[in-house]
């Protein structure tokens, strides 16, 4: 059975094995070295396993500039987010183009960067175009300004996986999800991106999408997020609880995406869609304010950005959903597209109100969130009172 092709046509694999791996491990002791932060470690892993296909390494200058300016790689292929390795000027001076550079997580060897280029870049230009703001209050802009002033580009070779990986049973590579889809005979797979617990509106749009697909890949992001986002381990307990009670096990897969959030709104919606294409998905749900933060993006900017590309360029079909809610008059979940009733009939709660209820040990209305999920969040709050942010 033929699945959707990876972005660019080939699923990248930069995970080195056998004699080549042993040779690079031995040589790494004589290489210049760098210690990677959490985002770079995530990017390294996702380049290596093909989630970022067609990228084979951190971007060189031509690709970087083209992506920032045009949302395309230098060869014209759609790509919306720069994937770069930033270093300080001092670190850059110590490296020569053509070097092999050992990459570490603390004292744990991860892999090698085959350094092709080192170059400076315009942080303000990247902020303005990728994040659509230059305000430090934006977490993506803040992270960009805090990183080094030089970028290193070149192919990578992964020698060892990162240490202490959480959710091992859910960490499926694109090759593994594709094998699973093929084994089960699924042709139309819809993916859902989330960094928050799922409430009834999310459940509604997922199940609407599942009506036209063979299966749902619930694919929460578990890489680096904002400090006030709900921790991944709490979110995973919510997903496990919800799926065990309310979703068809034969048509649902839960797996994690170990990527870092950029909070780049519309551009990140394209990025997330292309990643799920590499995992073998044919459809991708784009809801209200996808990958947004604060009020930096309009509620449906992440829908409109898909219109900037020709049909077929992305190779994965976006499914656009409006904000959903429970309508008392309809007696069902609905959206502005399907509900004719006044907003006074809609069950909606502010994030502040939800937090207040959960902290008081009270269950929000079942029309807003499943009580079993609310109980998970209440228990988590009792363990750590400050870890709950606004569900989206």
The whole-chain average pLDDT of the chain stands at 95
Please, what sign has the CA dihedral across residues 309, 269, 277, 79? positive
Fold match flag (18-158 vs 168-383): no
- List the CATH code of the domain at 168-383: 3.40.50.620
pTM of the model: 0.95
- pLDDT tens for 256-266 read 999 999 999 99
Q: Out of 3.20.20.10, 3.30.70.20, 3.40.50.620, 3.10.400.10, select the CATH number for domain 18-158.
A: 3.10.400.10
Which residues are paired to 78 by β-bridges?
A: 72
CA distance 271 to 305: 11
CA distance 204 to 326: 10
What SS3 class is residue 80?
A: coil
Rounded mean pLDDT, 39-57: 98
Every domain of the chain and the residues it spans: 18-158, 168-383
Checking if the pLDDT of 90 tops 90, the result is yes
Checking if the pLDDT of 385 tops 90, the result is no
Query: Longest Cα pair distance anywhere in the chain, in angstroms?
Result: 71
What SS3 class is residue 86?
A: strand
**pLDDT of amino acid 261:** 94
- pLDDT tens for 304-352 read 999 999 989 999 999 999 989 999 999 999 999 999 999 999 998 887 8
- pLDDT tens for 264-305 read 999 999 999 999 999 999 999 999 999 999 999 999 999 999
- pLDDT tens for 51-66 read 999 999 999 999 999 9
**pLDDT of amino acid 178:** 98
- pLDDT tens for 8-20 read 999 999 999 999 9
- As annotated, the active-site residues are 195-196
Q: Which residue, chain included where needed, has tokens 């009670």?
A: 245
Q: How many CB atoms lie within 10 A of CB 10?
A: 12
């Amino acid at each position: 059975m033929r699945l959707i092709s990876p972005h660019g046509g080939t699923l990248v694999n930069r995970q080195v094995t056998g004699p080549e791996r042993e040779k690079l491990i031995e040589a790494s002791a004589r290489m210049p070295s760098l210690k990677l932060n959490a985002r770079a470690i995530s990017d390294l892993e996702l380049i290596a396993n093909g989630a970022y296909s067609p990228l084979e390494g951190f971007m060189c200058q031509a690709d970087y500039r083209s992506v920032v300016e045009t949302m395309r790689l230098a060869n014209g292929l759609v790509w919306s987010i720069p994937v770069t390795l930033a270093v300080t000027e001092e670190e850059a001076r110590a490296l020569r183009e053509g070097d092999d550079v050992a990459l570490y997580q603390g004292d744990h060897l991860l892999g090698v960067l085959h350094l092709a280029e080192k170059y400076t870049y315009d942080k303000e230009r990247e902020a303005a175009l990728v994040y659509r703001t230059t305000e430090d209050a934006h977490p993506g802009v803040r992270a960009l300004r805090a990183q080094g002033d030089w970028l290193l580009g070149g192919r990578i070779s992964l020698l060892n996986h990162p240490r202490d990986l959480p959710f091992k049973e859910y960490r499926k590579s694109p090759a593994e999800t594709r094998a699973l889809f093929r084994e089960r005979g699924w042709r139309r797979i819809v993916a859902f991106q989330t960094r928050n617990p799922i409430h009834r509106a999310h459940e509604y749009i997922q199940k609407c999408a599942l009506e036209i697909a063979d299966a749902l890949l619930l694919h929460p992001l578990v890489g680096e997020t904002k400090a006030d986002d709900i921790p991944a381990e709490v979110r995973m307990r919510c997903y496990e609880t919800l799926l065990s009670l309310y979703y068809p096990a034969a048509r649902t897969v839960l797996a994690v995406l170990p990527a870092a959030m950029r909070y780049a709104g519309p551009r990140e919606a394209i990025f997330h869609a292309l990643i799920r294409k590499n995992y073998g998905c044919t459809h991708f749900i784009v809801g209200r304010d996808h990958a947004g933060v604060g009020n930096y993006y309009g509620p449906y900017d992440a829908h409109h950005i898909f219109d900037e590309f020709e049909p077929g360029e992305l190779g994965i079909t976006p499914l656009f959903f409006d904000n959903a809610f429970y309508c008392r008059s309809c007696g069902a979940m609905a959206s502005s597209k399907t509900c004719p009733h006044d907003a006074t009939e809609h069950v909606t709660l502010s994030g502040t109100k939800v937090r207040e209820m959960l902290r008081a040990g009270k269950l929000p209305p079942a029309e807003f969130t499943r009580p079993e999920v609310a109980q998970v969040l209440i228990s988590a709050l009792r363990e750590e009172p400050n870890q709950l942010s606004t569900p989206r």
